[in-house]
């Protein structure tokens, strides 16, 4: 399967601002790209690229005063298969986890693991460890939280989601990630493209989406507490501890979003 990917984002800036964008496909998918994946700006500005401490490809530049458009378009090969499911994937005891996984057990801004120890144990302590337990977390979050774009806010943390029970993609994943970490299961936040392939087309315009990854057995696996079903055509862009690490764009000053559109669809 071939997927067409693209985005078009317009900001208005009252003054020049340094920006960082995580708008590239994740390095783990570079070999699947059929077309170079380049972040373009209008007006054209000098753009630098680097890998952050999580291994994401980042783009940084200084946006001049006025309007700046970020856009990109590429094509990528995809297996066309849904997210893998493996009910026999085991939880790895902390002492056997690779060292580089340990940071995915710790607190982060939107994942207050330290405040969920008792709650997570009460809800999921009795569930069969491994894939079943992570799936139980997803089922719980999916059934308890109601989706709505009007519930988005930048400072909302897992504890807010747990008490308010309303949110957007990111909020579902933050709560699930926090529950997993509180159970000593490494979990990280993920963002990327997610289209409508194989599902009923949602009435709202396409958007980037968030999901999360969990380390079981010997690798990371994709989970999605928002949709809670295996999906076809996810294209990973970035992973990190939570949304703070992998914002699509981070502006170190005032930047007003004016327009935003995303494309992700199968090439016929």
Looking at the DSSP assignment, which residues form a beta bridge with residue 261? Answer: 8
Tokens coding 121? 């144990």
Q: Which stretch binds a second copy (CB under 8 A): 1-9, 24-32, 57-65, 222-230?
A: 57-65
Q: Is 130 left (phi over 0), alpha (psi -120 to 50) or beta?
A: left
Cβ distance to a second copy smaller for residue 120 or 262: 120
204 counts as binding a second copy under rule CB under 8 A: no
The site string for a second copy over 4-23 (x = CB under 8 A, - otherwise) reads --------------x-x---
Residue with tokens 């990280």: 188
- How far, in Å, CA of 103 to CA of 241, rounded? 8
Alpha-carbon Rg of the chain, whole angstroms? 19
* C-beta separation of 250 from 19 below 8 A: yes
Candidate residues 126, 155, 201, 203; the one interacting with a second copy per rule CB under 8 A: 155
249 forms part of the interface with a second copy (CB under 8 A): no
- Interaction pattern, residues 115-154, with a second copy; x per rule: CB under 8 A: xx-xx------------------------x-----xx-xx
Query: Which of these segments, 77-85, 109-117, 130-138, 228-236, binds a second copy (CB under 8 A)?
Result: 109-117
What is the C-alpha end-to-end distance of the chain, expressed in Å? 9
Contacts of 28 (CB under 8 A, 6+ apart): 236
Output 34 or 153, the one with its CB closest to a second copy. 153
Residue 5 beta carbon to a second copy: minimum distance, rounded to whole angstroms: 25
* Closest alpha carbon to 237 in 91, 88, 52, 87: 52
* Interacting residue ranges for a second copy, rule: CB under 8 A: 18, 20, 48, 50, 52-53, 58, 60-62, 93-95, 99-100, 102-103, 105-112, 114-116, 118-119, 144, 150-151, 153-155, 159, 162-165, 184, 244-245, 250, 252
């Amino acid at each position: 399967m071939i997927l067409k990917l693209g985005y078009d984002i317009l900001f208005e800036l009252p003054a020049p601002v340094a920006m960082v964008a995580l708008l590239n496909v994740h390095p783990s998918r570079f070999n699947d790209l059929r077309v170079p994946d380049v972040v373009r700006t209008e007006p054209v500005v000098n753009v630098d690229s680097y890998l952050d401490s999580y291994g994401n490809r980042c783009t940084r530049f200084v946006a001049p005063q006025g309007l700046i458009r970020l856009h990109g378009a590429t094509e990528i090969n995809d297996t066309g298969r849904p997210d893998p499911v493996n009910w026999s994937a085991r939880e790895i005891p902390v002492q056997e986890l690779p060292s580089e996984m340990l940071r995915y057990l710790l607190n982060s801004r939107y994942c207050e693991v330290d405040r969920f120890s008792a709650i997570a144990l009460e809800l999921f302590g009795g569930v069969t460890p491994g894939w079943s337990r992570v799936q139980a977390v997803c089922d719980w979050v999916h059934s308890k939280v109601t989706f709505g774009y009007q519930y988005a806010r930048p400072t909302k943390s897992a504890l807010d989601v747990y008490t308010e029970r309303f949110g957007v993609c990111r909020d579902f994943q933050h709560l699930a990630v926090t529950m997993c970490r509180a159970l000593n299961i490494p979990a990280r936040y993920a963002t990327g493209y997610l289209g409508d392939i194989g599902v009923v087309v949602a009435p709202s315009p396409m958007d980037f989406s968030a999901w999360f990854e969990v380390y079981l057995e010997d690798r990371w696996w994709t989970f999605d507490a928002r949709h809670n079903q295996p999906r076809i055509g996810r294209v990973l862009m970035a992973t990190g501890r939570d949304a703070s690490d992998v914002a699509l764009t981070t502006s170190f000053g005032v930047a007003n979003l004016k327009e935003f559109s995303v494309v992700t669809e199968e090439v016929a």
